[in-house]
Structure 1
Amino acid sequence: MTVAWKPSDEMIEKTRLYQWMRQLGYTDYEEFLNASTKDIAWFWKEAEKVLNIDWYEPYKETLSLEDGVKWPKWFVGGKLNTAYNTVETWADKKETANAKAIVWESEDGIVQTYTYEQLAEAVARVANGFRQQGLKKGDIIAIYMPMVPETVIAMMAAAKIGAIYSPIFSGYGTDAVATRLNAAKAKMIVTADGFLRRGRPVAMKEEADRAVEKSPSIEKVIVFRRLDRDIPWNDSRDVDWKQLMKEEPLKETLSMDSADPLMLIYTSGTTGRPKGAVHTHSGFPIKAAFDAGIGMDVKKGDTLFWYTDMGWMMGPFLVFGGLMNGATILLYEGTPDFPQPDRLWEVVDKHQVTHLGISPTLIRSMMKHGEEWPQKHNLSTLRVIASTGEPWNPEPWLWLFEKVGQSRIPIFNYSGGTEISGGILGNVLVRPIGPITFNSPLPGMDVDVLDEDGKPVLNSVGELVIKQPWVGMTKGFWNEPQRYEEAYWSRWENIWVHGDWVIKDSDGFWTITGRSDDILNVAGKRLGPAEIESILVEHPNVVEAGTIGIPDDIKGEVAVCFAVLNQNGLQLEQLREELLQLVAVKMGKALKPKAIYFVQDLPKTRNAKVMRRAIKAAYLNKDAGDLSSLENPQALTEINQLGKNA
């Protein structure tokens, strides 16, 4: 295995990971890694201690498996609140009260800063405001917001009063938002009048209004005026954010059971509705804080900047990973290459970012502008560049490492998921790092690669699996326990199957080669094919549809759709454009398919299930493997021809 970056002994000894290992009596990382999964209860007890988690009442037992490995109970009997551990703990201490908690930069250059003390006060005011508007413990509030400080304030204010928040991607269209509001039965939604993208306003309130019309559970719409646009207003339902900020700060932070839900993040399923991953007060925040603090070496006083959205897992990760470690988090509203191709690097330089989080898609799009843009800026404060969302290919990885990081900055590849609360695999900073690979499972994650018979394999592709529970593991899907068990636990007994194809080599390096299920990964955004298909079949001329992901130079993967029509003689080009626009409007432009093809038939199994794997193989002219369950293999000939002509 080629090694691109190797830590010096001095650097290893400075990491929080090494110092913690030493404290626990280990100097050899391999030994420590084995110990972390040999006794997971011991490991996660030590992990919450090193993160200085504040408990209102101490837990009686670190882990109970009385309901089996699928339903572990962590920190049994413990009482805490995420809002306290994320914001108030630092605001209450003299030495950190005036430290920067949030730095926000808008696309048009406005910079706003909140200290921990200021953030705690804003959270307390909005928490009281939420209460006055009828939000209480256990209610669900959706957060459909751009990357602004108010988004973090809303999250923490909900947590402070025991409400459950559900972040929604700011780029989603009406249907995607409404689907998530209805699945959660959300009582309120927080949104903005809009935000800037490439110098132009993007309307959000109107999109939210249309979604709310389809969501009978919504009682109030809280609106933050980011742009001061003229927006439609419903006096009986809409509430101005400024009104909440006028409330007296709420002193009480509710004591929550460690297993109480904190957050619902909806993630795409291969079939049907999105799945609501349930995260608790002692789950996602602790796992995210651990991976950032101990894994990526985020320390008090550092600045963590992840280019993301609060609707994707890495948004909440940024909040908890940064703030629970006493660091500053940087939120950037706009596009990373606007108005000039160096905007991202300018932000890193200006705000002295120590930890930058990006995706391979972002780097592929920056590469085309040339290396002179990052080289204009002083990036000397950067200690770690972290990458997540999708697999790398070597060229952009090397460009980032050599041209941007000057072969000095380690790239922390990081892969896990919404249901994980962070990472399964990473690049720990006490081991050498190779291009595009991962150098270790994250400590506490009992990981393996299994072949189709469930046997461990080395040097060949297999399923990525997790063999024991971990802190941060989703507490099932919201109101759908059976669907959760079927999604992750149905293949092998008591083994979590994650849905990634992985190779582990003899040197201990891991490579993710793609998804083993039908989920698409468009520019790091996971997308269930059924979400697009159901939009297409709403059109009166479409009988059925199939969606696959194909490789793309910029986005990593893009959607390609196949539709069966109910009549001949249609204006096909006009219909194609209509369908593409339909998906763009309902799902958001970022998820618009690359192409839509009209076919006579879709390949199906005998029980009428569309076989997307076969569609993808035929279109890309690859071996589809066993097709004996196909009812109509002839359907693949047409798809194969379309792929050859593409």
Structure 2
Amino acid sequence: MKAVTEGALLWQPSGERIEKAGVTRYRKWLEKEYGLAFQRHQDLWKWSVDQLETFWKSIWEYCGVISHTPYEQVLKSRTMPGAEWFAGSTLNYAEHVFRNSRKHKPALIFQSETVRQREVSWQELKEKTAKTAQYLKNLGVQKGDRVVAYMPSMPETVIAFLACASIGAVWSSCSPDFGNESVIERFKQIEPAVLFAVDGYSYNGRIFDKRKNITELQASLPTLKKTIVVPYMDFGEIKPDSSTVSFKEVLKEEAKLAFEPVPFDHPLWILFSSGTTGLPKPIVQGQGGILLEHLKILKVEQGVEPDDVYFWFTTTGWMMWNLLIGNLLAGATVVLYDGSPAYPDMDALWDLAEKTGMTHFGTSAGYISGCMKSGVKPKEKHDLSRLKAILSTGSPLTAEGFIWCYENVKADLWVVSTSGGTDLCTAFVGGSPVLPVHAGEIQTRGLGANIQAFDEEGKPVVNEVGELVICDPMPSMPLYFWGDEGNKRYFENYFDVYPGVWRHGDWIKIDEKGSCVIYGRSDSTINRQGVRMGTSEIYRAVEGIDEIIESLVIDLEHLGRQSFMPLFVALKQGRHMDETLKNRIKTEIRAKVSPRFVPDEIYEVEQIPKTLSGKKLEVPIRKILLGFPVDKVVNRGSMANPEALDFFIELAQTLNDQKTETE
């Protein structure tokens, strides 16, 4: 791989590509309908945040949003939290999906480690959604009732979700690789009426039987009226009883699909993202807000069209699955994959790209790094002639990751590094196919997303690293957290640092042309391949082990460094760390949280550093291990045990020396 410096020009879109881009069509429409002409993309972005209400009104009109009642005004106030969008309108997310139904293209293409490629037509998707929706209504499921899924990325999951959306029920999902305690912690908070689940799944060539897990979930969720099991693995027929039924039974009776009009801010789904303390946050997002945001990012910014074949490697426990399904709103064919990206080898997803005629390949920076290390050269073995774009998120894509795509996938390729979050279920900094691609840079801020970098005094800075903040509301921001009385947790998570301004928890640098670089988390949330997890869930699993007094987990994800997540444990007197205890810790995390949150290394320490009030010093320790000067990140006088820092200062020097040796 040739050497490349951050900011080097790697790709320039052709005049033809610029002309055909979705954002170009939108700009021409704006000029015709609103008399607005923008010479540069940055000018369009500036208008979209300055004239926020007019911008979102234009997206509503340009994308042809179907509302059964007219809205009274676009936005009542720019106040955060509590912004109210398109009050008075009534609509339905699923109705906007099925208006794209057509006979000559599949809606879904599915493949797993155990299922050969399978296509689901728009007609099949519509019929099965109708039957599932009717079955839910027959069970007594009504608008606002919660329906949850313990399912992988497969057609039945999409069908169940669209059925919920069509009747106004509220959807939530967890991937079956989550440990049961993590699933119960999430679902129990929202009191679901129905559970969809698979009997098992395959990953990396191994079959996982989840039937016992389903029984445990049923026992822990007393509000369940019915559990609907998809017979995914070859375990034999599911015997129906009063509490459980096979998905095959759901599809027996004919039904006609109908769409329940709901208010703009009626809940569509609940996504879970954890903070550093307490239970996972149940983030409620609205039908209208998600619809409008996903139409904007997919149809306008990315220019997704009905002939496109769109894929993102994701599980149902990550918001990227929800955004992936949003491509049905643009009429595109959505590719679902369930399994390991490295099984049977690192060519698995590139094989899928060729076989499906993929136009958009969505993945994580970690996957691209894995391809680099494995020496994979997709262009030498695969026909990727239809591929327009590689989109990456989950963690910052390095300059080397960019150049690998151009050298080993395709020279004429839009490489898109994006960043956003579960909290808004979108990318608020990302790409534009009309802009050049520079190594290591995110091309632009999202339209309608007033993203700034704030210094420590809460002032915007340019060409300096600062806190990523959102200065004005966006339609897909959370309506609230489920069960959060008085919006207390909601406020504490986003608005306690800069009142009235959303603080996201990332470090960002924005340059004068509007491009930006994300440098990793500025808080203590764990980010593993795009899935974010609060430290509290890991602590509960680890500190349940008898030998352990307490623990500290740190995510050292940072641009230009290999991701590294160490766990530090303080043991009871007379106990010492050995391989047996390390394996027990890993087993507990794998079973109770998720395999992806197993630490890279486990260290025994005498004490966990704490404040005088007893709070673990997660953020300061993270900064120390990343190489920040100690006196800049922690005041020893505010610590209960300042001597506990010594171990971490020594470890930081060791890690820095190792990094220097590898450069």
Instruction: Give the TM-score of the pair, scaled to structure 1.
Output: 0.94
> Residue by residue, what CA displacement relative to the aligned partner does 1:529-588 show, whole Å, maximum 9, x if unpaired?
111012111222222211111359999534321122233145743222211111111112
CA distance 1:183–1:151, change in 2 (3 Å): same
Identity of aligned residues (%): 30
Whole-angstrom distance in 1 between the partners of 2:521 and 2:571:
29
Whole-angstrom distance in 2 between the partners of 1:270 and 1:601:
19
* Residue 627 (structure 1) aligned to one of 610, 616, 634: 634
Whole-angstrom distance in 2 between the partners of 1:450 and 1:418:
21
> Residue by residue, what CA displacement relative to the aligned partner does 1:92-114 show, whole Å, maximum 9, x if unpaired?
xxxx2443211112224522222
Whole-angstrom distance in 2 between the partners of 1:231 and 1:527:
36
**How far is the alpha carbon of 1:331 from its aligned partner?**
0.6
In the alignment, which residue of structure 2 is the partner of 1:119? 125
* Residue 541 (structure 1) aligned to one of 535, 538, 547: 547
**How far is the alpha carbon of 1:371 from its aligned partner?**
3.8
CA contact (8 A) 1:390 1:556 kept: no
Whole-angstrom distance in 2 between the partners of 1:556 and 1:125:
47
Whole-angstrom distance in 1 between the partners of 2:567 and 2:198:
32
In the alignment, which residue of structure 2 is the partner of 1:213? 219
Please give the residue correspondences for 1:328-407 in structure 2 after superposition, counting only pairs within 5 Å.
328-406=333-411
Bigger Cα displacement from structure 2, 367-376 vs 482-491: 367-376
CA contact (8 A) 1:619 1:641 kept: no
> Residue by residue, what CA displacement relative to the aligned partner does 1:331-364 show, whole Å, maximum 9, x if unpaired?
1122223223312111111111111101111111
Whole-angstrom distance in 1 between the partners of 2:428 and 2:217:
34
CA distance 1:155–1:410, change in 2 (3 Å): same
CA contact (8 A) 2:398 2:559 kept: no
> Residue by residue, what CA displacement relative to the aligned partner does 1:612-645 show, whole Å, maximum 9, x if unpaired?
1233345556423242222211001133445666
In the alignment, which residue of structure 1 is the partner of 2:59? 47
In the alignment, which residue of structure 2 is the partner of 1:520? 526
CA distance 1:558–1:153, change in 2 (3 Å): farther
* Residue 86 (structure 1) aligned to one of 78, 97, 100: 97
CA contact (8 A) 2:9 2:436 kept: yes
CA distance 1:252–1:10, change in 2 (3 Å): closer
CA contact (8 A) 1:520 1:548 kept: yes
CA distance 1:369–1:460, change in 2 (3 Å): same
In the alignment, which residue of structure 2 is the partner of 1:437? 441
Please give the residue correspondences for 1:70-81 in structure 2 after superposition, counting only pairs within 5 Å.
70-81=81-92
Whole-angstrom distance in 1 between the partners of 2:288 and 2:46:
24
CA distance 1:615–1:446, change in 2 (3 Å): closer
Bigger Cα displacement from structure 2, 388-397 vs 510-519: 388-397
Whole-angstrom distance in 2 between the partners of 1:9 and 1:630:
59
Please give the residue correspondences for 1:125-274 in structure 2 after superposition, counting only pairs within 5 Å.
125-230=131-236, 235-274=241-280
CA distance 1:381–1:478, change in 2 (3 Å): same
**How far is the alpha carbon of 1:234 from its aligned partner?**
7.7
Whole-angstrom distance in 1 between the partners of 2:646 and 2:238:
51
Please give the residue correspondences for 1:397-546 in structure 2 after superposition, counting only pairs within 5 Å.
397-406=402-411, 408-480=412-484, 481-546=487-552
Report the secondary structure of 2:140's partner residue.
Answer: coil
Report the secondary structure of 1:117's partner residue.
Answer: helix
Bigger Cα displacement from structure 2, 482-491 vs 371-380: 371-380
> Residue by residue, what CA displacement relative to the aligned partner does 1:106-165 show, whole Å, maximum 9, x if unpaired?
224522222222211110001111222332221111111111100000000111111101
Q: Does 1:57 align with 2:69?
A: yes
In the alignment, which residue of structure 1 is the partner of 2:17? 11
Unaligned runs of 5+ in 2: 1-6, 32-36, 656-663
Report the secondary structure of 1:368's partner residue.
Answer: helix
CA contact (8 A) 2:519 2:558 kept: no
Unaligned runs of 5+ in 1: none
**How far is the alpha carbon of 1:373 from its aligned partner?**
4.1
CA distance 1:435–1:582, change in 2 (3 Å): same
**How far is the alpha carbon of 1:430 from its aligned partner?**
1.5
Whole-angstrom distance in 1 between the partners of 2:127 and 2:599:
44
Whole-angstrom distance in 2 between the partners of 1:438 and 1:620:
22
CA contact (8 A) 1:81 1:256 kept: yes
Report the secondary structure of 2:554's partner residue.
Answer: strand
RMSD: 2.1
